[in-house]
Amino acid sequence: MTTVSSAGHTRRDFLYIATGAVGAVGAAAALVPLITQMNPDASTIAAGAPVEIDLAPVANGQIIKVFWRSKPIFIFHRSKKDIEEAQDVSVSTLPDPQPDSERVKPGHDQWLVLIGICTHLGCIPIAHQGEYGGWFCPCHGSQYDTAGRIRKGPAPRNLEVPPYTFVSDTKIRIG
Amino acid sequence: MSGPSIYQPQSKVLQWLEKRLPIGGLIHSSFIAYPTPRNLNYWWTFGGILSFMLGVQIITGIVLTMHYTPQVDLAFKSVETIMRDVNYGWLLRYVHANGAAMFFLAVYIHMFRGIYYGSYKEPREVLWILGVIIYLLMMSTGFMGYVLVWGQMSFWAATVITNLFSAIPGIGEPIVSWLWGGYAVGNPTLNRFFSLHYLLPFVIAGVVVLHVWALHVTGQNNPTGVEPKSDKDTLPFTPYATVKDAFFMACYCIVFAWFVFYIPNFLGHADNYIPANPAVTPTHIVPEWYYLPFYAILRAIPDKLLGVLALGGSIVILAFLPWLDTSPVRSARYRPLFRQFFWLFVIVCVGLGWLGSKPPEGIYVILARIFTVYYFAFFIIILPLLGIFEKTKPLPNSISESVLGAKA
């Protein structure tokens, strides 16, 4: 042991700190791939490309279910009554206030497109059930109206509207 | 603590080994000469039963893995193959599935025993906290194992439980997607759950070693809660505790066998014999019975984030029990008021379990709220105050005096 120095800072102190610092950076760098590998992989992301849906066969009042990014998408061909019910509600009384016009595309009031996943804990709500004519979630009793807005129950938010555009009057592209 | 006898192997081979690796002495001092309080009752046999159940789950699990396929299109089918084609597959799977239930039943009895006799109190806090960690690991392992079957209940349990993390503000959604490895529960989720379900039991076994180690440092608590003071208060682990543990383990196995052979699906759900369908949620989803009290707490609270916090808090609060209970007296035998609150707590826990299986409407919600309030009040109001206001009964001078009377 020849490195003892009266100055207080020794070569060993330097080696401790340098080795420790390199080790900490190395450990942090090793965590990146170990953690990131659990995120959606390239094939999953690729399979999440936009899908086109033909709306022509969906009858008035009917709700169909399609899949995009492994999520169920509800497409609701709303009747006049459904639209009126959704528009007549006083927006400020809603748990997650949003007017019906923000839930649909302008000029396409009859088409409601939603991600069919309850915002509470991810169950799929059942169509045409509940007190508000929209959806009822069987898991914990959340109820959504004809604009997919949460009206009652533990869900914190309205059913999400996925990104979509009208390609033509009877065709949409989701994603 | 020093045992009444010291390990002195007769055989030359064992003497040779002992000089190089003193494992014989460790086993002898831990499981043969180890002094146990002479007044332990049958509630103290559940530690052994739990070790046995962990062994059963690991052995049957390893064997089931030889026949199971963790892939979304094949998982359910491979489980059915185990049930119909694999030699004794039906037995192995029923033992594994009901074994999980018997494991949880034993752990609940073990935990209630710990609370009743104040086993978490100084100097056994670390022992207790290790137990809470084992319980958390058991819950994760049990949940992920249930998902592997890939029936309807499996799939939707995976969806609901992973979605609990979506309640975290800001980073909730990315965390959930990271857990899934996709945009929904799918093949990557099944694969990682399989990997972790195989790993965690061995982590549990590791923490069990720490738990037993901590137990052997402090010694066991006993029904009086009075520490052993002399050799008259203790008996060697073998044969006394060994036989008592083994006898009651056999009794427990009779119940276990009754479930396996006569009502193997009693605790399960018929919906889980329907293959997972990401398009349809079953109309009535409930978790396995051993999670029901926590599920009831989650549903009792009408706000998503607060509900999830209450669910997590109801488990985490157990770790703080050694400091929430302020009474210096351990055993409920000498705590008349605590005893009443304790039994009410047991009723509330079982009641929450029952409510968790009911639909979340009407009177069930109201009851669940009342019970949830009591559950938390027991820990954060009743226990701290009881230590101050309760008039406890006089403690016996020693364990032997409580067993044999003052004449001893």
- Per-residue pLDDT of B299-353, as tens digits, reads 898 888 999 999 999 999 999 999 999 999 999 999 999 999 999 999 999 999 9
Are residue A34 and residue A62 in the same domain, yes or no? no
Are residue A99 and residue A156 in the same domain, yes or no? yes
Q: How far is A173 from chain B (nearest CA, A)?
A: 18
Whether residue B112 is predicted with pLDDT greater than 70 in this model: the reply is yes
- Give residues 275 to 304 of B whose Cβ lies within 8 Å of A: 278-285, 299, 301-304
Inter-chain touch B184–A70, beta carbons under 8 Å: yes
**CA dihedral for A132, A135, A139, A140, sign (positive or negative):** negative
Burial class (CB in 10 A: 0-12, 13-18, 19+), B104: buried
Chain segment A116-133, per-residue pLDDT in tens: 999 988 889 999 988 898
Are residue A145 and residue A95 in the same domain, yes or no? yes
CB of B229 closer than 8 Å to CB of B401: no
Number of H helices and E strands in chain A, helices first, is: 3, 10
Report the mean per-residue pLDDT for chain A.
Answer: 90
Distance of CA A117 to the CA centre of its chain: 8
Q: Which two tokens stand for residue B233?
A: 């208060």
Distance of CA B26 to the CA centre of its chain: 27
**Which residues on chain A are in Cβ contact (under 8 Å) with B159?**
121-123
pLDDT band at B1 (very low <50, low <70, confident <90, very high): very low
Are residue A22 and residue A108 in the same domain, yes or no? no
Are residue A31 and residue A80 in the same domain, yes or no? no
Report the mean per-residue pLDDT for chain B.
Answer: 94
CB of B110 closer than 8 Å to CB of B138: no
**Which residues on chain B are in Cβ contact (under 8 Å) with A39?**
177-178, 181
Q: Does B123 touch chain A (CB under 8 A)?
A: no
Q: What is the mean pLDDT of residues B52-80?
A: 98
Q: Does B181 touch chain A (CB under 8 A)?
A: yes
Inter-chain touch A39–B178, beta carbons under 8 Å: yes
* pLDDT of A47: 87
| Helix, strand and coil percent figures for chain B, each rounded to 5 | 70, 0, 30
**What is the number of structural domains in chain A?**
2
Are residue A71 and residue A29 in the same domain, yes or no? no
Inter-chain touch A70–B305, beta carbons under 8 Å: no
* pLDDT of A6: 55
Alpha helices in B149-241 (DSSP H): 152-163, 172-180, 187-218
Out of B177, B302, B361, the one facing A154 most closely (by C-beta) is B302
| Helix, strand and coil percent figures for chain A, each rounded to 5 | 25, 25, 50
Q: What is the mean pLDDT of residues B162-170?
A: 91
Nearest partner of B203 among B138, B158, B147, judged by Cα? B138
Q: How far is B188 from chain A (nearest CA, A)?
A: 8
**Which residues on chain A are in Cβ contact (under 8 Å) with B368?**
none
* pLDDT of A5: 52
Nearest partner of B71 among B187, B192, B193, B189, judged by Cα? B187
Task: Please give the residue of chain B at the shortest CA–CA distance from A35.
Answer: B178
Over pLDDT 90: what percentage of chain B?
91
Question: What is the distance between the alpha carbons of residues A72 and A54, in angstroms, rounded to a whole number?
Answer: 16
Chain segment B74-85, per-residue pLDDT in tens: 999 999 999 999
Task: Report the CATH number at residue A58.
Answer: 2.102.10.10
Give the lowest-confidence range in A150-154, B105-109, B153-157.
Answer: A150-154
Q: Which two tokens stand for residue A139?
A: 């898991």
Are residue A71 and residue A149 in the same domain, yes or no? yes
Task: Please give the residue of chain B at the shortest CA–CA distance from A67.
Answer: B279
A120 a catalytic residue: no
Instruction: Report helix angle B152-163 to B172-180, nearest 10.
Output: 150
Q: Does B307 touch chain A (CB under 8 A)?
A: yes
Q: Quick one: residue A122, left, alpha or beta (phi over 0 = left, psi -120 to 50 = alpha)?
A: left
pLDDT band at A7 (very low <50, low <70, confident <90, very high): low
Are residue A155 and residue A74 in the same domain, yes or no? yes
Phi, psi of A6 (to 5 degrees): -80, -15
Question: What is the distance between the alpha carbons of residues B32 and B46, in angstroms, rounded to a whole number?
Answer: 18
**Which residues on chain B are in Cβ contact (under 8 Å) with A154?**
299, 301-304, 307
**Which residues on chain A are in Cβ contact (under 8 Å) with B307?**
154
Inter-chain touch B177–A120, beta carbons under 8 Å: no
Compute the radius of gyration of chain A from its Cα atoms: 27
Q: Which two tokens stand for residue B177?
A: 């997607």
Inter-chain touch B281–A138, beta carbons under 8 Å: yes
Give the lowest-confidence range in A2-6, A20-24, B9-13.
Answer: A2-6
The interface predicted TM-score of the complex, written ipTM, equals 0.82
Q: Does B164 touch chain A (CB under 8 A)?
A: yes
Inter-chain touch A39–B181, beta carbons under 8 Å: yes
Task: Please give the residue of chain B at the shortest CA–CA distance from A127.
Answer: B280
pLDDT band at A2 (very low <50, low <70, confident <90, very high): low
Q: Quick one: residue A107, left, alpha or beta (phi over 0 = left, psi -120 to 50 = alpha)?
A: left
Question: What is the distance between the alpha carbons of residues B55 and B75, in angstroms, rounded to a whole number?
Answer: 24
Q: Sheet of A164-168: strands edge to edge?
A: A51-54, A171-174, A164-168
**CA dihedral for B398, B124, B310, B43, sign (positive or negative):** negative
Are residue A130 and residue A95 in the same domain, yes or no? yes
Burial class (CB in 10 A: 0-12, 13-18, 19+), B344: middle
Task: Please give the residue of chain A at the shortest CA–CA distance from B175.
Answer: A39
Residue in A121, A123, A131, A143 to test binding to B, most B beta-carbons within 10 Å: A121
Centre a 10 Å sphere on the Cβ of residue B270 and count the other Cβ atoms it contains.
11
Are residue A110 and residue A142 in the same domain, yes or no? yes
Q: What is the mean pLDDT of residues B182-210?
A: 97
Are residue A154 and residue A96 in the same domain, yes or no? yes
Whether residue B267 is predicted with pLDDT greater than 70 in this model: the reply is yes
Burial class (CB in 10 A: 0-12, 13-18, 19+), A28: exposed
Whether residue B2 is predicted with pLDDT greater than 50 in this model: the reply is no
| Domain span including residue A62 | 45-174
Structural domains in chain B, sorted by start: 34-403 (1.20.810.10)
Catalytic residue among A9, A77, A128, A140: A140
Chain segment B350-366, per-residue pLDDT in tens: 999 999 999 877 899 99
Chain segment A37-96, per-residue pLDDT in tens: 999 999 999 988 899 999 999 999 999 999 999 899 999 999 999 999 899 988 888 999
CB of B38 closer than 8 Å to CB of B403: yes
* pLDDT of B156: 94
Q: Which two tokens stand for residue B345?
A: 């707590």
Nearest partner of B279 among A58, A158, A125, A108, judged by Cα? A125
CB of A170 closer than 8 Å to CB of A111: no
* pLDDT of A3: 54
Are residue A26 and residue A83 in the same domain, yes or no? no
Q: How far is A24 from chain B (nearest CA, A)?
A: 24
| Whether residue B396 has a cis bond before it, omega within 30° of 0 | no
